[in-house]
Amino acid sequence: MQDKLITLLILLPLLGAGILLIIPARHKEIFRRGALLVTILQLLIALSMVSRFQPGSAMQLVEHRSWINMDLGTWGIWKADYWVGVDGLSLPLILLSVVVLFFAALAARKIKFKQKGFFVLFLVLDAAVIGSFTAQDLLLFYLFFEFMLLPMYFMIGIWGGPRREYASMKFFLYTLFGSILILIVFIGLYLSGSDPGSASLTHTFGLPYLQDIARYTPGAVLSPDTPGTLGWFTWREWAFLLLLTGFAIKLPAVPLHTWLPDAHVEAPTAVSVLLAALLLKVGGYGIIRVAYPLFPAEAVHFSWLVAGLGVVSILYGAFNSLASKDLKRLIAYSSVSHMGFVLVGIASVTGSGVTGAVFQMVSHGILSAMLFLLAGMLEERTGNRLIENHSGLSSRLPHYTLFVLIAFFASLGLPGFSGFIGELFVLLGAFTAATSTGYVSLTLAFAALGGLILAAGYFLWAIQRMFFGPFAIKADQVRLKDLTFFDVGLLLPLSLFTLVLGVYPQPLLNLINGFTVYWLQLMTTHQP
Amino acid sequence: MQTETVDWSTLALLIVLPLAIMLLASGIIPARRAWIVPISSTLGMLWVTIGIFYLGSKTNTVAAFASIPWMSVPGASFSLSIRLTPLTIVMMETIAVVSLAVHLYSAAYLADDPKLKRYYATLALFTFSMLGLVSSGNLLQLFFFWELVGFCSYQLIGHYRTRPSAGAAATKAFLMNRVGDSLLLSGLLLLYAQTGTLDLEQLTHLISADGTTWVALLIFGGVVAKSAQFPLFSWLPDAMEGPTPVSALIHAATMVAAGIFLLAQTHFIFSHAALLVVGVTGAITALLGAWGALIQTDIKKILAYSTLSQLGLMTMTLGAGETMPAMLHLYTHAFFKAGLFLGAGVVIHALHQPGHPDMQDIRQMSGLRTQLPLTSWLFMLCAASLAGLPLTSGLLSKDAMSASLEGTPWLLISFAVSALTAWYTTRLVWFVWWNDPNITSPGKPVPPAMSFPLLVMAAASLWFIAFPLPWRLESFIYPQEEIHAIGWLLPTAAVLNTAVVVAVILYYRSHRQVKESAIPSAFGIDLLIQAGVLFPVRQLAAWSQAIDRRIIDGVIHLTTYATVTTAFLTGAADRYIIDGLVNGAAKVARYAGWLTRSLSGGNIQRYLGWTLAALIIFLIWQNT
């Protein structure tokens, strides 16, 4: 049965973008309202998806149609499908996406010029993000993955801060470099596997097909039985490493992360929110969805590397946060640190680790959205974000301080908020792996724990410097006013999300659990 | 033991609901009607207290459990469960009573505070978290509340946010506790990885009789920070930055009590080696704390170090493998220490002059008994219990610990700390209440909301709080079969403590000056942490940033420049050599445009070129 709900979810923003394109640019207000309307409709669609979703391992709401089918003579048939669906990994991230997109569209009212261009790009990005989280065909996935790049490039490059050109170019080059690596592997996979429904020469980009080892043509480049090596590694090991690198740039993992602080610092608030809350998740999603299931033996072989990258990101990101003088930079590096937990969870290849990694992505999506909104609100009020320029804000901005406290403590993993649950299960996975399979060594598991202490360090130190003490501000333009009704409207729902997920996470865990079981099966049954 | 399931609705009605209402009320009530908050909160706390005593009366002799599923993932699941044993009931009652006293007391002490609503909301959350902690049936749930307790103490220690020192003390308290929390969490996760459960009841059956060492030590790491044991104790004296009633709560029934309680709950996990570490840590803390109390001049800091010392004694007793005596002392200590802090609060409140910092130095407050007669006697009653004079609960609970340590080397330390305790307590009492009066200002009258809780705490410092008879160890908390041979210990301790008190009084009658101490704060531990932990961490942070800026970005910039330069050279070669040869000058102008294009987008073209190359390479492999 072909389900059209996901297609609707992807097409809606594209349609909206098309309509916005033909509206004259002078109707400034209409663009944001249009984008907002689209995101509201998407929220409703996503909710109906949740109501129809049966928690379990199967891919659901699937739409699978032939897309490209071109005969290339002796090179076989070039075949790619339009194939979308959701499961326990996609659905939480889609829910996160529609929620964050809605709040980003709200926050984007601070965009004061070229509204038309901004919201058209916003909607294109919207479609690409949803597409990435649902595509089941590698070519389709790659297209959506690449399509996120351009809108983001322009959104930072045009609406960004003083160093926007440098930041946007850096972001673009970094990510493009990663995409190329991913594309190389996808092409290799395409040439190595075959579509079950057609003649033997028909290759496939279908992800579920390629997860099945029986589908690989014996002797093909990335077929598990090919003994070929290049340098130290086999072809498949290289392929895994390329995929890991490509997705690790997006995640980002140290040392492939330096685009992130620059991009975040220069991007306008709404764009920072999208970048941190959604685009980083595509990296984690790619590793869970593509890299691990397609190369299970190689992934396990390199689990020390994945866990190591994760732990280095956790600690290195935290140290950089501690050294940051700019609040937004501090938050950006904390993202690096928190996304490191995702890698550690995946590397453990345990039920709790993987569920924890997905949970951590959702939780970080909510929290980073909140953190960047808060950083933006500070900049609106004092015109700068330097920590040293602020002191004793608590006495003048009590409501703002309250939300900062919530966001900071939730981010540093205080029980009762979602951050704790994600990190708890990731660490449980790491310690379980350390005492059983050894995929994450005990040393690394303990080192990851250091991230919890450092997170408390940089967040509390920032609070101490900015909110405690006598009131003092060094700034050119000060319009000190506590949170407006609108600001509270942005922050309160996000606070409630993180609180509810932190106290009673089971509904979200239920969504994820079915996928985790299926994923663990993929990882174990397909080990050669 | 008989098992009985507690009805969740009873629990919610008696404890959760009123505390939630208190929390909400503090948020909803408008700022100009903030005076309602202390009243509503105190009444709410009264309801909770009655509820707990009601619950206790129903489940005094049986352990009661209730459990609902909480979180589950493939391969792991946790439930929420309530486990009420006679011990936890006593703990809950203590928490409720002390918290109620602090609620009432704060209504007067903080009457003019602009942040009254926030204060009471945090107080409610603090109490709720502590109640949740002691009634938790599994260790993950306990950890959940454990960190919340830490958060609340952060908020309350940093209550006076405009004071930089309050912010620093709050951050220090949370960070030190975070270190302990991380160790505790890793211990719990390892325990779960090994046994597959964190349920206390199931764990008692799963752990072998010898216990474990590493997991136990990691758990103890959490205890060290929470109960301010050596070397993570320096946050506790600094925590005096918080309002005084908060100190009473933190030192008596919440926060620091949590560590001792956890140790008692998990004592079966500890191997002999681990217990030895526990005992030595406790002994060091007990002695250091007593020494600290002896040399401090700030009334609250003396009490803080005294708490350290008493907690050290309890930890040492637990290290010797004795649970009940340590818990008994935790129980009696809660009341007399809360009383001492509330009394100190009366002094600070009475001497407070608007616009001046609080006066807390005992060298400036001699002879206050003429001005605050009732407070002085109540304070001295609590102090007598701390010093271990006859007829007090302190003597009996300390003696219970000594009795359980009989025949071990720990006994000596226990006696030494007892004597030191009597010494510093007498010194404190002498200089605050008895020495020649040198303050002439009459001081403010003591509001009944402050003297009444103090009166209750002072009364609870006497023997009957735990024992029917002042000369026997039998009590409702201390099962008959656990009483060791006592004989000579009790009278000896009583005589010794009294002798020390008398000797110290006689000494200070002739030496009326308090000497300035040259010992750095927290015995130099703070300096050590500064130099050995904070400095390296900051250095690492600075290095990380330098690596980011110089090395990683450096490599990237270098690659970019190299690419652009190559593009430029290729372009130049194209223009000058090839084109020059072939087409001459006419074409140069046309290619200038191409050159600039390759300059600005050199990388992108390069990457796309690589893509194409990769595609071709794969296609060739495929066909060969």
Here the ipTM equals: 0.92
- What is the Cα–Cα distance from B407 to B320, expressed in whole angstroms? 11
Tell which residue, B16, B10, B98, has the closest CA to residue B54.
B10
Handedness of CA A117, A121, A124, A130 (dihedral sign): negative
Q: Which residue of A has its CA nearest to B545?
A: A320
Tell which residue, A81, A11, A9, A69, has the closest CA to residue A43.
A9
Alpha helices in B136-271 (DSSP H): 139-157, 164-195, 200-206, 214-226, 235-238, 244-252, 256-265
The model's pLDDT over B481-529, given as tens digits with 9 standing for 90+, comes to: 555 555 677 777 788 888 888 888 888 777 766 666 666 677 778 888 8
- What is the Cα–Cα distance from B339 to B459, expressed in whole angstroms? 9
Task: Judge: A460–B171 Cβ closer than 8 Å, yes or no.
Answer: yes
Cα–chain center distance at B543: 32
Tell which residue, B160, B306, B352, has the closest CA to residue B241.
B160
- The per-residue pLDDT of chain A, averaged, comes to 88
Please report residues of A whose CB lies closer than 8 A to that of B178: 452-453, 456
Domain that holds residue A525: 302-528
Prediction pTM value:
0.90
Here the tokens at position A85 are 């669906």
Please report residues of B whose CB lies closer than 8 A to that of A74: 623
Tell which residue, B80, B71, B103, has the closest CA to residue B452.
B103
Task: Judge: A457–B145 Cβ closer than 8 Å, yes or no.
Answer: no
- What is the Cα–Cα distance from A266 to A410, expressed in whole angstroms? 25
Count of domains for chain A: 1
Lowest mean pLDDT among A250-264, B366-380, B584-598: B584-598
Query: Is residue A118 in some structural domain?
Result: no
**Is pLDDT of B382 > 60?**
yes
Please check whether residue A60 is in contact with residue A54, taking contact to mean a CB–CB distance below 8 angstroms.
yes
pLDDT of the residue at B591: 60
Query: Is residue A17 in some structural domain?
Result: no
**Is pLDDT of A462 > 70?**
yes
Query: Is residue A325 in some structural domain?
Result: yes
pLDDT of the residue at B179: 93
Task: Judge: B623–A74 Cβ closer than 8 Å, yes or no.
Answer: yes
pLDDT of the residue at B252: 77
**Is pLDDT of B90 > 70?**
yes
Q: Percentage of residues in chain B with pLDDT exceeding 90? A: 15
- Through-space distance between the first and last CA atoms of chain B, rounded to whole angstroms: 78
Query: Is residue A105 in some structural domain?
Result: no
B214 CB contacts (<8 Å, ≥6 apart)?
Answer: B190
Tell which residue, B389, B381, B399, has the closest CA to residue B478.
B399
Query: Is residue A501 in some structural domain?
Result: yes
Q: What is the mean pLDDT of residues A382-403?
A: 88
Q: Choosing among B73, B212, B543, B548, which should be mutated to test the A contact, i.e. which has the most A CBs within 10 A?
A: B73
Inter-axis angle of helices B602-623 and B553-572, nearest 10? 90
Query: Is residue A316 in some structural domain?
Result: yes
Please check whether residue B37 is in contact with residue B113, taking contact to mean a CB–CB distance below 8 angstroms.
no
Task: Judge: B162–A395 Cβ closer than 8 Å, yes or no.
Answer: yes
- What is the Cα–Cα distance from A255 to A257, expressed in whole angstroms? 6
Please report residues of A whose CB lies closer than 8 A to that of B192: 428, 431-432
Q: What is the mean pLDDT of residues B137-153?
A: 92
pLDDT of the residue at B121: 87
Please check whether residue A282 is in contact with residue A123, taking contact to mean a CB–CB distance below 8 angstroms.
no
Reported confidence tier of residue B19, pLDDT bands at 50, 70, 90: confident
Here the tokens at position B56 are 């206790």
Query: Is residue A408 in some structural domain?
Result: yes
Measured between CA atoms, how close is A355 to chain B, in angstroms?
A: 7
- The Cβ of residue B11 has, within 10 Å, a number of other Cβ atoms equal to 18
pLDDT of the residue at A44: 94
pLDDT of the residue at B599: 45
Q: Which of A351, A431, A464 sits opposite B168 (nearest CB)?
A: A464
Q: Choosing among A235, A352, A500, A518, which should be mutated to test the B contact, i.e. which has the most B CBs within 10 A?
A: A352
Please report residues of B whose CB lies closer than 8 A to that of A75: 619, 622-623
Alpha helices in B227-372 (DSSP H): 235-238, 244-252, 256-265, 272-295, 299-319, 324-351
Query: Is residue A150 in some structural domain?
Result: no
Q: What is the mean pLDDT of residues A371-383?
A: 90
- What is the Cα–Cα distance from B564 to B601, expressed in whole angstroms? 9
